[in-house]
Amino acid sequence: MVPPTRISNFGFRIFDCGLKFPLDRPPLKIRNRQSAIGNPLGFTLTELLIVVVPLLIAFGGMALVLEQSGRNAWLLADAQLDSETDAQRVVDRISEDLRAMPASTVQCTASTQLRMGTGPSPITYQFTAIGTGSYAGTGTLTRTVGTGMSATQQTISPRLTLFSCTPLDANRVVTLQVTSRGRTVQGRTVDRTLATRVWVQIP
């Protein structure tokens, strides 16, 4: 008698394919890494929070410190550039006038007044006393062209803490020194000093 044949849905005999289906396999166990505290392969949410939260606080504090430090450095550099630009502008303006005037007309009196030129339009640079400038502890440098009622006056810088000049030497050279005050940054006043020697070209 021929034994019955078991046919799959695809027309193949499953037994002929050598497949086996063990029925005594143990049930599959699933590990919950979040709940298994003793599991070395994972971390619980509480453990992650204990590690991550202090790191976030530390990094946030470092970022604030770096931002404040960078801002102060930028403000200081900007104030230094501002005061140096003002001092350079003063020196350039005086130098331009000196090079256009005869050396015989250049006079530096009391280290705070520089006169040059003759005739109806002489030029006079005058540094006023400290306390008249736009910044605390500063004075004003003015440029006056002409004399009497026809004279015109121009403010060259309202924030100088120092202006000095020396008389012409044997080589027709005038030495100028100017100190300009910039803004106050973190309680620190920013001053810039420029000293230059100007050669008067016309004898």
Average pLDDT over residues 63-88: 84
pLDDT in tens, 102-145: 988 999 887 789 999 888 889 999 998 777 677 778 899 999 99
pLDDT in tens, 35-44: 444 455 566 7
For 79, the token pair is 């104030």
Residue 90's pLDDT band (cuts 50, 70, 90): very high
pLDDT over 70 for what percent of the chain? 77
- CA-to-CA distance for 156 and 123, rounded, in angstroms? 13
Distant-in-sequence, close-in-space partners of 32: CB < 8 Å, separation ≥ 6: none
- CA-to-CA distance for 139 and 161, rounded, in angstroms? 6
Domain boundaries, the chain: 66-199
For 198, the token pair is 């100007």
**What are residue 124's phi and psi, to 5 degrees?**
-130, 125
- CA-to-CA distance for 200 and 107, rounded, in angstroms? 12
DSSP state of 148: G
Radius of gyration of the chain from its Cα atoms, rounded to whole angstroms = 43
The pLDDT value given to residue 3: 54
Average pLDDT over residues 171-190: 88
Q: Tell me which residue of 101, 163, 156, 173 sits closest to 127, measured CA to CA.
A: 163
